[in-house]
Amino acid sequence: MRTILVVGGGYAGFYTAWKLQKKLRRGEARVIVVDPRPYMTYQPFLPEVVAGSVEVRHAAVSLEKRGARVHLNSQLLSAVDGNVVLSTGDEFDSELIVWTVGNAANPMVHNHTDLPIDRNGMLVVRPDLTSPRGGPASRRCPTPSTRYARANCWPAT
């Protein structure tokens, strides 16, 4: 069975996973959603929808009822050659990775690193999501929370 990973549990991630499940026949592929927050959202235009509300809890549950696997409080650490590693220690292969976590670099990356940002404010990355300025570096990254940051931003100890 093929695996489709959706990174990001906001409106775009929820809608993408929901639509994939609707289009695919059961057993054709499994859909996995990963989000670092403890909840998913699926009603972005309603400011009264907050973490912990019934609507927010329903988003993850509705996807799981349709067969998706939802990893909340979890981050994508690595996706080299389709081998996915999550911050929870879960590891699996994925044939397709859909990135729905944003369209601009975090201001911390833009203001406190020398990582390349394009003219639209987006972080420049290779197809494997690493920086073209990879390799040992003395630059400091905002947090050593990902494999990339540990390998390429923080000096080896």
Query: What pLDDT, on the 0 to 100 scale, is given for residue 55?
Result: 56
Query: What pLDDT, on the 0 to 100 scale, is given for residue 86?
Result: 96
The residue that leads in pLDDT, 122 or 77, is 77
Query: What pLDDT, on the 0 to 100 scale, is given for residue 31?
Result: 96
List the structure tokens of 10.
Answer: 């906001």
* Highest mean pLDDT out of 11-25, 115-129, 137-151: 11-25
pTM above the 0.85 mark? no
The residue that leads in pLDDT, 22 or 119, is 22
Query: What pLDDT, on the 0 to 100 scale, is given for residue 148?
Result: 43
Question: What is the band of 134 on the pLDDT scale with cuts at 50, 70, 90?
Answer: low
Distance CA 47, CA 151 (A): 39
Burial of 39 (0-12, 13-18, 19+ CB in 10 A): middle
Query: What pLDDT, on the 0 to 100 scale, is given for residue 103?
Result: 62
Region 7-11: what's the mean pLDDT? 86
Q: Is pLDDT above 60 for 47?
A: no
Cα dihedral across residues 111, 79, 147, 143: positive or negative: positive
Domains in the chain: ranges and CATH: 2-99 (3.50.50.60), 103-157 (no CATH)
Which helix or strand (DSSP H or E) is residue 2 part of?
Answer: strand 2-7
Q: For residue 113, which of 87, 92, 144, 89 has the smallest C-alpha distance? A: 144
